[in-house]
A and B are shown apart, each in its own frame.
Chain A
Amino acid sequence: MTTPPPATEPAATPPPAAEKDGQGSSHRSFGEILRQAIQENTVTVTVLALLSATIIGGLLTAFTNSTVLSAWGNFFSAPGNAIGQAWDVAFGTYWALFEGSIFNPHTVSALFQQASISAAIHDGFLSAVFNPLSETAVQATPLILTGLAVALPYQAGLFNIGGQSQFIGGAIMAAWLGYAYNMPFFVHVVVCVLGAFAGGAALGWLAGEIKARTGAHEVIVTIMLNYVMLYFLAYLLTSHSLLQAPGGSNAITLPITSNAHLPLLAGTHLRINAGFLIALAAALAVWWLLNRTTIGFEFRSIGANASASRVAGMNVERNWTLVMTIAGGLAGLAAASVILGTDFTLNPQSYGTYGIDAITVALLGLGRPGGVVAAGLLFGALHAGSPGMQTATGTPVQIVQVIQALIVLFVAAPPLVRTIYRLRASRARGVSTSMSKGWNA
């Protein structure tokens, strides 16, 4: 036998550790719970990971700024100025992110400078106050949905890197159903959303089926499918007989009809739309599926120990296919939220970086639906704030991607965080250590 990773030893019996903690805590005193929360809970590690990533991100922005660098050139003559400059740049960057994603004080003062409140509301000044939050929700929607598409298979022991291919599958269906057909108002958008789900699910099913039938590692299969779909989309969008809008040479579809748009939730000035509700409902559904159904129990059991589950009579292969199909459908819903909610057309850039972002969201969310929503909102806020940040401070938007990756790197290595902050070693482990079993597992 090769050496089993330490994390898998208690995993032989299905109800995973997360649930045990919740049930057992009622017997202990409050102080005990609090101490455990600080010392052992992964929440502490997550918070400290966020803190570390924020600090490193701040240092990075400060020390690539030319003003700061020239101030540090004169460090020995004016050390206070050097440190002050660095602080100003780092803080300015984060403040701009905050203003773009949560709340911008200027919008409130602009609101009260108007002659009457009703006129201000009519002119969109009230909307401007809530615009950052609305943008955060809009950005978070596809992140939550694709994050769930990674988190759900993760619970069943599969690593789905194919968010991109499944997103494209859903996007093709959503866009095609959206512009090629005319249906009544409510029906059309429902058909498009279901079509997107089916498009994504087809790709997820393909990956799951190949894994189940041949044992090919899902990581390689999904990476390859990403490229296949990427070129396939480019092919569809450059063929007039297929998806390309007639009469032009641009690789883009016709705009989808207004009946297929996801309804806006808060007036015409804000982009927040029903996609956000779909994302929250999907998270709830995934939680329910995982924790309240037999299928979910089998998923978690297989994720904890596939061989034991097989011995217990579960059909591991069929569950792999099923979980990938559902995951693909979730990624397809993410595509629906983008195509039908904000973009209203499909082009070769529509899939963005959701496939990769989804992995960071799922890992930060510790693979649980609630965590995914929280992580999706956090990263959605970073995405929403970054364009404004770039305009205001000149810091490139890619800093968001760096911070995201750093957060996940720290979250994935709890021992590192414990070493840095001198926490006591504990039984609670991060999400990923329990998965270290390699290609051949």
Chain B
Amino acid sequence: MTTPASAERLPVLLSPGPSGGAAAARFGGRFAAPITYAVLGLLNIFVFGLHSHGDATFSFTPEFAKVTVPNLSLAAAATCYVCGALSLALAAVRTLDVLGVVRLSRVWRRVIVGVVLFLFIIALCAWADGGQSIAFNVVNLLSGTLNVSIPIMLGALTGVICSRSGVINIAIEGQLLLGAFCAAIATSVTGSLWLGLFCGALAGSLVAILLALFAIAYRVDQVVLGVVLNTLILGLTGYLYNAIMVPYGNTINNPNTFNLYKIPLLGDIPIIGPVFFDSTVFLYITYLVLAGVQIGLSRTRWGLRTRAVGEHPVAADTVGIRVLAYRYRNVILAGLIAGIGGAYFTIGSVGSFGPDMSSGEGYIALAAMIFGRYTPFGAIGAALLFGFTTQLQSILSSINVPIQSNLLLLTPYVVTIIVVAGLVGKVRGPKAEGVPYVKS
């Protein structure tokens, strides 16, 4: 009964009291951060610390690595106490900041958030591995996190581009699913992984074309449209799976998967190498896309115009930017990215298509985009948070930790609700997002 406490106590912060007016909400908003830190600190001490025993061993080396890093062995309970104490100290500092005694810059506030979360995870892992004979492999946790997050990261970047152009894209889920489906077929039939990847990307942009056509030309409500497109793709791939993939599975649903490719030199760095530079091509594509979207949106003419189209299309139109053309092009290009993310399911990890194999990760990507405040790096960070809980859950269940995996899995969703509810700072989307542009 550890995570339920954190999962259920947090929503309490949502309602600032029955009669809560704006003042109460602001009060709750101001103290939400220090209270949360203090709660996490107390959890570290009283839940993890008091229930820990033995030593926790952390290992930093993947199997069969050339360069090895010695394992780190810590007394579990003591680690939890130290983490808890540090969190409480940071909560105190943040309280002083809220009261105006100390002035912290935004950077420092963010660092504190990161450190508190980090301490919480250390305490959780120490508690989980305390007294266990198997070492807790940190590298597996981190590299697994990166890999399971790939579709979410790529989907979230797609969402960022679409939203910044003024189009709500809820069809990310459908793009992932159709990308996975088409990549599986193309790879199986042609035998070429790269052709499969290409077809997956095209499939993603095919959904994007439908989205763009209905949203921009026919001005259908974009939220409704996205949900309906997802239903359509879910039904279509499920239908085609049963109609043609089950009977002819060997020829059209039997793709290879990309091998791991270790980047020379970088991949041999201890800890960092195996985590970041020893993966399939999908992770490297993600790096490139992230860099491209970040630089593109913030440093290029295309980015400036895209943001203008998403914020204030009338002004953009007045200075001669072709609003609709920009929206069409961006939505369709962004579809390619989600298609690649979908291809990861079939030709990056599993090796065959299954019905509904994206299992809602497109919706998670959407949440990650909003969580990340519509910025590329924010979206990636949020996507990694979702991937991290999934991976942590699978590792904890593999070392037989008495933790309710379902409750662990639901925490990121609760956190997302808290974030969109504005307690961690108001998230504001592009002004014209979801509003069809009609030239007057």
Chain A residues packing against B (C-beta within 8 Å): 1-3, 5-6, 60, 64-66, 159, 161, 209-210, 213-217, 219-221, 223-225, 227-228, 230-232, 234-235, 238-239, 356, 359-360, 363, 395-396, 398-402, 404-406, 408-409, 412-413, 415-416, 432-433, 435-440
Contacts and interface: CB of A to CB of B under 8 A. Distances in A.
A223 B228 contact: no
A401 B220 contact: no
A398 B239 contact: yes
A159 B238 contact: no
Q: Which of A221, A231, A406 has the most CB of B within 10 A?
A: A231
A214 B432 contact: no
B313 A2 contact: yes
A104 B156 CA distance: 49
B239 A221 contact: no
Given A398-B238, A402-B239, A412 B219 contact: no
Interface of B: 14-16, 20, 25, 168, 170, 214, 217-225, 227-232, 234-236, 238-244, 247, 312-314, 355, 360, 363, 366-367, 370, 404, 406-407, 409-410, 413-414, 416-417, 420-423, 428-429, 431-438, 440
Contacts of B429: 438-440
Given A3-B313, A220-B366, A231 B218 contact: no
A234 B421 CA distance: 25
Contacts of A415: 217-219
Given A161-B227, A231-B409, A404 B235 contact: yes
Given A224-B416, A356-B227, A359-B227, A402 B232 contact: yes
Contacts of A404: 231, 235
Given A356-B227, A436-B435, A405 B220 contact: no
A66 B238 contact: no
Contacts of B235: 398-402, 404-405
B366 A223 contact: yes
Given A5-B219, A435-B221, A228 B422 contact: no
Contact of B413 (A217, A228, A413): A228
Contact of B247 (A5, A6, A66, A223): A66
A433 B313 contact: no
Contacts of A215: 422
A235 B407 contact: yes
Contacts of B234: 356, 401
B253 to A, nearest CB: 14
Does more than half of chain B's interface fall in helix, strand or loop, or is it mixed? Answer: helix
A399 B228 contact: no
A401 B177 CA distance: 15
Contacts of B360: 227
Given A65-B243, A409-B214, A438-B432, 17 more contacts: A2-B431, A209-B15, A213-B15, A213-B16, A213-B20, A231-B410, A232-B407, A399-B235, A401-B234, A401-B238, A402-B236, A404-B235, A405-B229, A415-B217, A432-B221, A437-B435, A438-B222
B431 A412 contact: no
A156 to B, nearest CB: 15
A216 to B, nearest CB: 4
Q: Which of B223, B312, B313, B428 has the most CB of A within 10 A?
A: B223
Contacts of A216: 417, 420-422
Contacts of B238: 396, 398, 401
B192 to A, nearest CB: 24
Nearest to A211: B421
Contact of B239 (A5, A230, A401): A401
Contact of A2 (B223, B314, B366): B314
User: Sorted from nearest, which 9 A-B pairs have the closest CB atoms?
Assistant: A438-B434, A401-B235, A396-B242, A405-B232, A398-B239, A231-B410, A398-B238, A235-B406, A402-B235
Contacts of A231: 406-407, 409-410, 413
A252 to B, nearest CB: 15
Given A227-B413, A433-B219, A214 B421 contact: yes
B410 A409 contact: no
Contacts of B367: 220, 223-224
B417 to A, nearest CB: 5
Contact of A436 (B236, B366, B417, B436): B436
A360 B416 contact: no
A433 B407 contact: no
Contacts of B219: 5-6, 415, 433, 436
Contacts of B406: 231-232, 234-235, 238
Contacts of A439: 168, 429, 433-434
A3 B413 contact: no
18 contacts: A3-B437, A6-B219, A65-B243, A214-B422, A215-B422, A221-B417, A221-B420, A224-B416, A232-B407, A235-B407, A396-B238, A398-B238, A401-B235, A409-B232, A413-B220, A432-B224, A433-B221, A438-B222
Nearest to A439: B429
Nearest to A233: B406
Given A3-B440, A227-B360, A435-B224, A399 B417 contact: no
A359 B226 CA distance: 12
Contact of B435 (A360, A395, A432, A438): A438
Contacts of B236: 60, 398, 402
B410 A227 contact: yes
